[in-house]
Amino acid sequence: MSGAIYALDKPVGVSSHQAMKTFQKSVGARKAGHGGTLDPFATGVIIILSGSYTKLEPYLSHSHKVYQASLELGCRTSTADPEGEVVETASVPPFDEVLLQQVATDLTGSVELPVPAYSAVKIAGRKAYDYARKGEILDMPVRTTSVANLVIKSDPSARRVHFYADVSRGTYIRALGEEIARRLGTIGHLSTLRRIRCCDIGVGDCVTLDQVRQNTPVPLSPCDVLRENTIFETDSHTIAALHQGRPLQWNTLRETHAGLAGNPTGIVMDDSGAVVSVIDIRQGRILRNI
End-to-end CA distance of the chain: 8
DSSP characters for 51-64?
EGGGGGGGGS--SE
Does residue 155 have an active-site annotation?
Answer: no
Question: Nearest 5°: CA angle at 139, between 133 and 141?
Answer: 105
Q: Which neighbouring-strand residues pair with 126?
A: 123
Q: Which one, of 27, 14, 70, 21, lies nearest residue 218 by Cα?
A: 27
Which of 39, 81, 166, 200 is labelled catalytic? 39
DSSP 8-state symbol, 250: G
CA distance 278 to 83: 39
* Cα separation, 289 vs 274, whole angstroms: 12
**Phi first, then psi: what are they for 283, rounded to 5°?**
-90, -10
Q: Which residues are catalytically annotated?
A: 39
